[in-house]
Amino acid sequence: MSSTLLPEERALDAHVRTNSSKSKRYGFFPGCVAKESCKELFNSTLLLADKLGIELVELTAASCCGASVLNDTNRDVARVLNARTYAQAEALGLDDVITICSTCTGHMRAANKELRESEEHMAQANAILGKFGANYKGSVTVRHLLWLLIDDIGLDALRAMVVRPLNGLKVAPFYGCHIIRPESVNGWESARHPHSLEDVIVALGGEAVDYAGKTRCCGFHVQLEKDGIASSMVGQNMRMAKDNGAEAVITPCPLCHLALDGYQADAAARWGRTDLPIFHLPQLVAYALGVPAEKLGLNKHLIDPREVMVSRDLIN
């Protein structure tokens, strides 16, 4: 084992959720926001993993992915930080690193692509990782939990696992830019016309709402740069979702969640009230698979999703 392993990583029990000794093990990179202001995302992901019968091995010593901002000051740091994360996964014998954030997905995949496609970048990273006894061979694949649901679990199997269908709840998908763009980095599905979230919504017994805003930007990354900019972007997109009949929104990205959940109130003056509750992807899937609603942290949302769930007889 490499020296990058921590004692707590060697004793995996604390971080592994097991249903069966044969279940598939994945490296798990929760990202900063799921550990800070969106803890309900982190918790519901672990509860969902239990239901799916997969092991998520959290990479506890991993750093931030760079969050699309680190490149603004230095184009090498984020790549090497991510190489360190991948070296930790490799040392644990894990080739799959699963993310629960669109921005982590895009930026970790971009770093991995640069490392795997350029000997120069790989050599630069390993020269630095070598200073603390780590090494990245290039075997890791970064994927979002959404892709795992469809590729590894499968929509048919997912449908079969549903014990509490969504009763036709009209859910608008909101992808979050970095899980689809740029296509050269992600490419798992069409960036212009993605449908994975719609497929999941339908598999859970909901109705997917189509609207032009689903692949657009939530404004999170410029929320502090100029007052009102993110709330305008949120208002514009949520208005479209609401006008197309949405009762709720689902997103695979906690940054989108923070913006959409947080700024609809501010956007109301210009775009009218929308008040759409925003579900994290694992919350809604876990609910349909039978995790008790009170365990999903729905009370942490600024726009409480429980009202719409009551109206659809999903909870009392």
Partner 1 sequence: MAKIKLDIFRFDEATDTVPHRDEVTVDLPETTTVLDALEHAKAEVDGSISFRRSCRSAICGSCSMSIGGVTSLACKTSCGSAMEEDGSVKIDPMPNFQPMKDLVVHMDPFWDKYARLKPYLQPKDADSAHATERRVSPDDMKKLVDVANCIMCATCYSLCPVVSVDPAFAGPAAIAYAYRFIEDVRDGKRPERLAQISEDYLWLCAHCYACSYCPKHVDPNDRIVDVKRAAITDRVMMNERGPRHALVVARTIKQTGMLAETEVIQGTVGRFNIRGLLKVAPLGARMALKGKLPPPFLKPVPKVDEIRTIFDALEAPVR
Across the chain, where does the E strand assignment appear? 25-29, 55-58, 96-99, 141-144, 170-173, 207-208, 248-251, 278-280
Please report whether residue 212 would count as binding partner 1 according to CB under 8 A: yes
User: How near is the Cβ of 6 to partner 1 at its closest, in Å?
Assistant: 5
Q: Residue from 139, 299, 307, 310 that binds partner 1 (CB under 8 A)?
A: 299
Please report whether residue 227 would count as binding partner 1 according to CB under 8 A: yes
- Tokens 């603390």 belong to residue: 132
SS3 56: strand
Contacts of residue 98, defined as CB under 8 A and 6 or more positions apart, other chains included, come to 26, 27, 28, 29, 56, 143, 144, 145, 148
User: How near is the Cβ of 23 to partner 1 at its closest, in Å?
Assistant: 26
Please report whether residue 27 would count as binding partner 1 according to CB under 8 A: no
User: How near is the Cβ of 182 to partner 1 at its closest, in Å?
Assistant: 4
Near partner 1 in 131-190, by CB under 8 A: 131-132, 134, 177-178, 181-184
Please report whether residue 300 would count as binding partner 1 according to CB under 8 A: yes
By CB under 8 A, how many residues form the interface with partner 1? Answer: 66
User: How near is the Cβ of 118 to partner 1 at its closest, in Å?
Assistant: 15
From residue 201, alpha-carbon distances to 53, 155, 195, 230 in Å are 20, 10, 10, 26
Which range touches partner 1 (CB under 8 A), out of 17-25, 28-36, 91-99, 306-314?
28-36
Which class for 250: exposed (0-12), middle (13-18), buried (19 or more C-beta within 10 A)? buried
Using the minimum distance from each CB to partner 1, give the nearer residue, 67 or 150: 67
Q: Residue from 13, 14, 224, 313 that binds partner 1 (CB under 8 A)?
A: 224
Q: Which two tokens stand for residue 110?
A: 């971009």
Which range touches partner 1 (CB under 8 A), out of 71-79, 135-143, 162-170, 276-284?
71-79
Contacts of residue 257, defined as CB under 8 A and 6 or more positions apart, other chains included, come to 38, 41, 251, 278, 280
The number of helix segments (H) and strand segments (E) in the chain equals 13, 8
Residue type, 125: A
Residue type, 33: V
Tell me how long the chain is: 316
Q: Residue from 67, 140, 209, 308 that binds partner 1 (CB under 8 A)?
A: 67
Please report whether residue 32 would count as binding partner 1 according to CB under 8 A: yes
Using the minimum distance from each CB to partner 1, give the nearer residue, 132 or 311: 132
User: How near is the Cβ of 240 to partner 1 at its closest, in Å?
Assistant: 11
Please report whether residue 74 would count as binding partner 1 according to CB under 8 A: yes
DSSP string, 247-264: SEEEES-HHHHHHHHHHH
Q: Residue from 11, 19, 24, 69 that binds partner 1 (CB under 8 A)?
A: 69
CB count within 10 Å of CB 311 equals: 12
Task: Give the binding site for partner 1 (CB under 8 A).
Answer: 4, 6, 8, 32-33, 35-38, 60-64, 66-77, 80-81, 84, 106, 128, 131-132, 134, 177-178, 181-184, 191-193, 212, 216-217, 219-222, 224-227, 229, 232-233, 236, 262-263, 265-266, 299-302
